[in-house]
Amino acid sequence: MDNEKAVFKVIAGGPLKVSGSFEIKLPGTGLVEQKDTIYLCRCGDSSSKPYCDGTHKRNGFSG
């Protein structure tokens, strides 16, 4: 991984946008390296957790 910092942006009423250089550790799968942009679920209802699948648009999430 390079030294570029990860940037976290809370999208109003939507997911957490993460871009830059970072690592994610998922249970049972080990380390996942990511160097592009991903969107993480904040509403808790995504069927592809921890990633956003757009469910917040249908469930009324406003966080």
The single-letter DSSP state of residue 4 is P
Q: Dump pLDDT digits (tens) for 4-49.
A: 789 999 999 999 999 998 888 888 887 877 778 999 999 999 999 9
Residues 63, 54: Cα–Cα separation, whole Å: 14
If one compares 33 and 55, the residue with the highest pLDDT of the two is 55
Residue 1 inside a domain? The answer is no
Which residues sit opposite 14 in a β-bridge? none
Residue pair 19/7 in contact (Cβ under 8 Å)? The answer is yes
Q: Which domain holds residue 44?
A: 7-59
End-to-end Cα spacing for the chain: 32
Domain count, the chain: 1
- Does residue 52 carry a pLDDT above 60? yes
Task: Output the domain CATH number for residue 16.
Answer: 3.40.5
Residue 30 inside a domain? The answer is yes
- Select from 43, 51, 46, 48 the least CA-distant residue to 12: 43
